[in-house]
Amino acid sequence: MINDLRDFIAACERHGLLHRIDARVDWYLELSHIATLNEDAGGPALLFEHVRDSDLPVLSSAFTTSQRMAVCLEEDPETTICELARKWKTRLADGAGIAPRVVKEAPVLRNAAVGAKVDLLKFPSPHFYPNDGGRYLGTAHYLVCMDPDSGWINLGTYRMQLQGRNAVTVMIARGKDAEIIYRKYQARGEKMPVAVVIGCDPLHFLVSSTHVGSGVSEYDIIGALRGRPVEVFESDLTGLKLPASAEVILEGHLDLDDLRQEGPLGEFTGYYSSAKGADGVGMEPTITIERVLHRDDPIFWVSTIGKPVNDCHMIQAINRSAMLWHELETRRIPGISGVYVLPESCGWFWAVVSIKQMYPGHSNQVGLTAIAHYGLKGVILVDDDIPADDLGRVWWALSVRFEPKRSIQVIDRGRASALDPSLDSSNRYIMSKVILDACIPFEWETKPREVTLDPAMLHRVAQRWSELGLPRTSRIDRLLDSDDACDARPERSRATRSTA
């Protein structure tokens, strides 16, 4: 079972998916450059054990392959992103969230530094990219805050720049839950009590970067996904419920009157950007840290963000695929057989939805519902004979089932990401969107006749496969396993890039 970051690290090590680096490395560029080269090569998660100026080891690249995301979700490491997303949405659909359980004792309460003893410079916050505006303490973490009216507790991952011994700035884009909540404190003339959690059950990080819906607590969603409640303690400083097994928790108040220069940061789009300025620099609110809590021998955690594909994009690919799928099903639209937000599209901008069409206009209904999903720029619709994540076959559908005039639908205005460098810097909150419908029109009386192989001959050939001296494949195994001799389903397209 995975209940904290240490369980996850141990599980990755058991599967040969984590590498420890004993050599001393610098937090200035060196750590991020080692991590990026390793990520680009599809390498393991890294645990840097000796980083300049700090006693804390640093985990990076935790989710750069689907295998480690599967480990986090307590699934077989060979499970694909699409399959993990299916399991995620099924666990959500199976029942309401599971509320956290309040405990009195918490490993993270063992060590505390308060007031003048707070020193954030002790943490190995990396300076990731050459033009970054400084060191980033928060890239694989989350912010906890509470709605002052309803008591709803929100977890959200929003980048945090180090601003000295006891302060960080946080970049929360417009419309995010923490913004909706901090506006309420602002209206009351109060600072917002917050906590920053670094290092925890890694599922917390996956879910804190998911839009689960305003008014819904990510703690309940984590509980539903794990099938057991998150253990939390009640902070006597901020009144927040905080995860008992976190590695590090920073507590303080967010002050909207204390705005400081933030950024740039090499962002998940592959460009330097910020929510406030095209050059990647903006004025953002400051959190003054009043107390640091940590476990014995705490472990720090970072994500390289930057160009796709790294763990930021993989995380968003899985959580956005799952939530889009969940949303389509919650709207009671039938026939959704697969949803895949591509990691290569920054895990954000493009989705493929595979549909078993049942009535005229079905694919269009799916397209219009899906495209409303926050941040999506394009949705590609395919029939259910094409797996949403088989990009080779998606291209085939775009070639032979798609006719531009009939199949393209442009939506003039929709919610955009403030960090999207394809948008003019004066307005990055609104963009146009597109639906590419590569499904065969349901209403056509005469449909194109597809080339398929003869099922009986396939079965016969499969039985002779060893005699032919050809290597066994999963498709031959499938054909040999099927009694009815008619499994003519094609193999996955060879053009598909493996994100495992």
**Contact footprint for ligand FMN (CB under 6 A):** 139, 154, 156-159, 171-173, 176-178, 209-211, 303, 305, 312, 315-316
Which position's Cβ is nearest ligand FMN? 156
**Closer residue to ligand FMN, CB minimum distance, 269 or 354:** 269
**Closer residue to ligand FMN, CB minimum distance, 213 or 334:** 213
Could you tell me the smallest distance in angstroms from the CB atom of residue 175 to ligand FMN?
8
How far is Cα 2 from Cα 13, in angstroms, rounded to an integer? 13
Could you tell me the smallest distance in angstroms from the CB atom of residue 216 to ligand FMN?
9
**Closer residue to ligand FMN, CB minimum distance, 158 or 402:** 158
Could you tell me the smallest distance in angstroms from the CB atom of residue 354 to ligand FMN?
25
- Residue 489's contacts (CB-CB under 8 Å, 6 or more residues apart) are 478
**Closer residue to ligand FMN, CB minimum distance, 60 or 166:** 60
Could you tell me the smallest distance in angstroms from the CB atom of residue 411 to ligand FMN?
21
**Closer residue to ligand FMN, CB minimum distance, 109 or 372:** 372
**Closer residue to ligand FMN, CB minimum distance, 32 or 210:** 210
**Closer residue to ligand FMN, CB minimum distance, 327 or 390:** 327
**Closer residue to ligand FMN, CB minimum distance, 305 or 476:** 305
**Closer residue to ligand FMN, CB minimum distance, 351 or 382:** 351
Could you tell me the smallest distance in angstroms from the CB atom of residue 220 to ligand FMN?
13
**Closer residue to ligand FMN, CB minimum distance, 211 or 253:** 211
Contacts of 29-33 with CB under 8 Å at 24 or more apart are 29/127, 29/128, 29/129, 29/130, 31/58, 31/60, 31/124, 31/126, 31/302, 32/60, 32/126, 32/127, 32/128, 32/129, 32/302, 32/304, 32/306
Contact 231, 244 (CB under 8 A): yes
Type of residue at 370: A
Could you tell me the smallest distance in angstroms from the CB atom of residue 435 to ligand FMN?
22
Could you tell me the smallest distance in angstroms from the CB atom of residue 141 to ligand FMN?
9
Could you tell me the smallest distance in angstroms from the CB atom of residue 211 to ligand FMN?
4
Could you tell me the smallest distance in angstroms from the CB atom of residue 271 to ligand FMN?
14
**Closer residue to ligand FMN, CB minimum distance, 154 or 321:** 154
User: Pseudo-torsion of CA 271, 276, 281, 283, nearest 10°?
Assistant: -150
Helix 81-93, helix 311-330: angle, nearest 10? 40
Could you tell me the smallest distance in angstroms from the CB atom of residue 372 to ligand FMN?
16
**Closer residue to ligand FMN, CB minimum distance, 173 or 461:** 173
Write a three-state SS string for the chain: CCCCHHHHHHHHHHCCCEEEEEEEECCECHHHHHHHHHHHCCCCEEEEEEECCCCCCEEECCCCCHHHHHHHCCCCCCCCHHHHHHHHHHHHHCCCCCCCEECCCCHHHHEEEEHHHCCHHHCCCCECCCCCCCCEEECCEEEEEECCCCCCEEEECCCEEECCCCEEEECCCCCCHHHHHHHHHHHCCCCEEEEEEECCCHHHHHHHCCCCCCCCCHHHHHHHHHCCCCEEEECCCCCCEEECCCCEEEEEEEEEEEEEEECCEECCCCCEECCCCCCCCEEEEEEEEEEEEECCCCCEECCCCCCCCCHHHHHHHHHHHHHHHHHHHHCCCCCEEEEEECHHHCCCCEEEEEECCCCCCHHHHHHHHHHCCCCCCEEEEEECCCCCCCHHHHHHHHHHCCCHHHHEEEEEEEECCCCCCCCCCCCCCEEEEEEEECCCCCCCCCCCCCCCCCHHHHHHHHHCCCCCCCCCCHHHHHHHHCCCCCCCCCCCCCCCCCCC
Could you tell me the smallest distance in angstroms from the CB atom of residue 429 to ligand FMN?
12
Could you tell me the smallest distance in angstroms from the CB atom of residue 69 to ligand FMN?
12
**Closer residue to ligand FMN, CB minimum distance, 34 or 206:** 206
Could you tell me the smallest distance in angstroms from the CB atom of residue 371 to ligand FMN?
18
